[in-house]
Amino acid sequence: MKRQAGMTLIEIMIAIAIMSVMMVMAWTTTSSTQRASTEFGGIQLRNHEIRVALDRVVADLETAYLSQNEDMNATERRTLFVARGGGTVPELRFTSLSHMPLWADAHESEQTLISYSSQTEKEDGTKTDWLRRESRRLSNKPWKQEPADVDVLIHDVEKVEFMYWNWQNQEWQDHWDTTQSDGERMRLPARVKIIVTFKNPRGEDVKITTEASILLQEPLTFITS
């Protein structure tokens, strides 16, 4: 009788080895594709967060304003533009016409007091959030005593820089104060440069710069008779 044809043990082992190599290659390719997709999605989300935040800051600054219809000697001015230089996230506080009332009969206007500051994350003390605070009521009370809405502009920011264009001496400076006689009393910077440094999902430092042009350069004055 003829011997029945079949695969030898060596042939079976070779076939299994080839299949194993192909499975490893397929798993590696799938895993790499998934990691790349996750990383790309994270970069897109991070960039979207930064763009939305900077668009909001630019919109706030472009409608910054001052008014002469108030007590110029008041300790707490109702309209102002005060910026302190230095620090990882310097503070900036100013009045703006950027508020949007949500109801037609709401007892509020477009006037608002906006401030930018920083706060350490509660879950991770090594991270810093960039905050936006908006108070819809302008008064002569200390601004921190007024009720306000606080939102996080950017999570885990590395550094924020503001530069203010002084049109009188044609220079950029990192501070501004419209309330002090020895400062920039009753005049606004022509432009504001905003520089934000953050880490992308790869852990690399990324720096984005934008500018806002302040439209209302002259203080508002309402004459009544």
- Looking at residue 80, its pLDDT comes to 93
Q: Can you give the pLDDT at residue 39?
A: 67
In a domain, 124, yes or no: yes
User: What confidence score (pLDDT) does residue 204 get?
Assistant: 85
Per-residue model confidence (pLDDT) at position 14:
84
Task: Answer yes or no: is 35 within a domain.
Answer: no
CA dist., res. 188 & res. 175, Å (int): 12
Q: Give domain status of residue 111, yes or no.
A: yes
In a domain, 4, yes or no: no
pLDDT for res 146? 85
- The tally of domains found in the chain comes to 1
Q: Is the CB of residue 76 less than 8 Å from the CB of residue 141?
A: yes
Domain-located, residue 113:
yes
**8 found inside a domain:** no
Determine the pLDDT at residue 224.
54
The residue segments making up the domain with residue 141 are: 46-213
Check if the beta carbon of residue 83 is closer than 8 Å to that of residue 91. yes
Q: Do the domain assignments include residue 219?
A: no
Successive 10-residue mean pLDDT values, the chain, 225 residues: 64 83 81 70 84 95 92 83 90 91 70 93 88 87 86 93 94 93 89 93 88 93 63
Q: What pLDDT, on the 0 to 100 scale, is given for residue 2?
A: 53
Distances (CA, A) of 124 to 45, 120, 129, 136: 20, 8, 11, 31
The model's pTM is 0.78
In a domain, residue 88? The reply is: yes
What per-residue confidence (pLDDT) applies to 70?
Answer: 82
Question: Which helix (H) or strand (E) segment is 115 a member of?
Answer: strand 112-120
| Burial degree of 217 (CB within 10 A; 0-12, 13-18, 19+) | middle
Q: Which two tokens stand for residue 99?
A: 């508020």
pLDDT for the residue 57 = 96
